[in-house]
Amino acid sequence: MSAVTRVKISTIAHQLPPEAYRQAVDQADLAISITDAKANILFANEAFTRVTGYATDEIIGKNESMLSNHTTSGDLYKTMWKELSAQRPWSGKLLNRKKEGDLYLAELTISPVVDATGNTTHFLGMHRDVTEMHSLERVIRNQKKLIESVVDSAPMAFALLDQNGRVILDNQEYKKLVSDLHLKEPAHALLDNVLPQWQENLLKQPELCSFANREARVDRAGGRPRWLSISATLIEMNSDCADNYFCTGGLPGLLLVISDVSSLREEQERARTSALQAVMADEERTAAIREGLSAAIFRLEEPMNIMASAVSVLQRRDPASAGVLQQALAASREHMEMLRQVIPQSPQEIVLSTNLNEILRDVLEICTPRLLGAGIVVDWQPAATQPPMIGRPRQLRMLFKALVDNAIEAMNIKGWKRRELSLTSAVDHDCIVISISDSGPGIPLEWRHKAFEPFFTAKNSSGRHIGTGLSRAQQVVADHGGIIDLEESASGGCAAIVEFRLDGDPI
């Protein structure tokens, strides 16, 4: 403060009559008292008498200690006088007693008044009755503890998100999800699964974020999957920032209630898996018939083509023999056509929203007896949460079962010691990538481009065309707009890599 400013303030202060100071203090709504250096009361304003119940003539000349209930800690008084003796103001709460005997909690500030020589001559005390405020604070604190206890003891997880998606309140069950699922923020992962646009909606159209009882499946490496039922409720929250004091509108918050329904879903999954095993066994039998008849027709085509060439040659040399052979060839083709007509057709399947983690889990459940019988150790590393893709579940199960069956056959060789099967699923940008790797002998590099040809097999290291091999698997992948490739696995075996686009539509 400059010298000129100090002079102006001093001039204005001298212009105020002393009576104005006295009236301002006396009419102040805050209880004010002035004491001597020994805390004897020399002055008390009207508010002081209203708070304490003592009239002015009853209190003047008495010590401030007459207001004490004598239950305040002695250490508190020692601290107070230590500060005042050092000519520093002191603030705190004391339990006082009114004239009628009622106790009240006083919020007190005492400031030393120092004269020109540096000596403390008086004390200025200001206090107010904060009993009701204290009671209200305790009620709020008790209610907060009660609510926290109820929320923490609830069997479901709670998470409250602010407008920016930050979790600002949760309970013990939610904290358990963090450790059980090994996710930094389960709320974000679950919302990404059931409502992919939730972050943008919460900022721009929060009303679109409310939903009830949507299920999300969370797959854990080396553990059973978890099924969680999620409900989201939009609530209005008030900002605690000072600049929002006069704002009438609140900020949107999203309350998630997460219930574990794994036990119920596991029972349903066991029943579904049993039915699925029967359906897939029937489908495999039908596919085997279809494959066997197709292979038989394929094999018959070669000698018949030779016979057709022989007919062309005999037409010039021995027309009679050529005619007989032509008749036999025509009859054979007629029988082959009849054989084609009895080949079972693949049933039509509608496209559905499909979770590939569930498909792979189904395949592992169905293949468990074969895996145990072959002594194969399975390492299942799924993506914790996976967005759904549009696909045909039955065909996808047959696809991955064929790949797993191929891996089992590759390792189920007499004397083969290392038998490990690794399945991983991951989301890479807009694609879902599935990897099925075995520790078998692998497929030679020169055979990999042939592996997808019809009737190719690497059994017995012959490379002969005696089965459909991976051609059917490739067809399913192609029908879903994906790609499949064979690579060498980390263990030297074969790795089948399947990639699907999330925005792809099955043919």
Q: How confident is the model at residue 146 (pLDDT cuts 50, 70, 90)?
A: confident
Mean pLDDT of 343-352: 76
What average pLDDT does the segment 398-408 reach?
A: 90
The percent of residues in the chain predicted with pLDDT above 70, rounded, is 88
pLDDT score of 464: 37
What distance in Å separates the CA atoms of residue 17 and residue 33, rounded to the nearest whole number?
21
| Domain 154-238+249-260, CATH | 3.30.450.20
What angle do helix axes 393-411 and 356-373 make, rounded to 10 degrees? 30
pLDDT digits (tens, 9 = 90+) for 436-446: 999 998 888 77
Structure tokens at 403: 């790949």
Instruction: Tell me the β-bridge partners of 125.
Output: 33, 110
Asked if residue 57 has pLDDT above 60, the reply is: yes
CB atoms within 10 A of CB 13: 9
Provide the token pair at 298. Answer: 């394929």
Mean pLDDT on 348-367? 87
Give residue 160's pLDDT.
92
pLDDT of 142 > 70? The answer is: yes
Which residues are CB-neighbours of 505 under 8 A, at least 6 positions away?
351, 390, 481
Per-residue pLDDT tens digits for 216-266: 888 876 667 888 999 999 988 776 666 665 665 568 889 999 999 988 888
Long-range contacts of 236-240 (CB under 8 A, 24+ apart): 237/162
CATH number of 349-507: 3.30.565.10
Write the pLDDT tens digit of every residue in 463-474.
Answer: 433 334 577 788
Tell whether the model's pLDDT for residue 103 goes beyond 90. Answer: yes
Closest C-alpha among 428, 430, 448 to residue 489: 448
Closest C-alpha to 359, from 412, 430, 271, 423: 423
Per-residue exposure over 96-129, b if at least 16 CB sit within 10 Å of its own CB, e if not: bbeeeeeebbbbbebbbeeeeeeeeebbbbbbbb
CATH superfamily membership of 3-130: PAS domain (3.30.450.20)
Tokens of 12: 């204005």
- For β-strands 420-428 and 483-488, DSSP reports them as unpaired
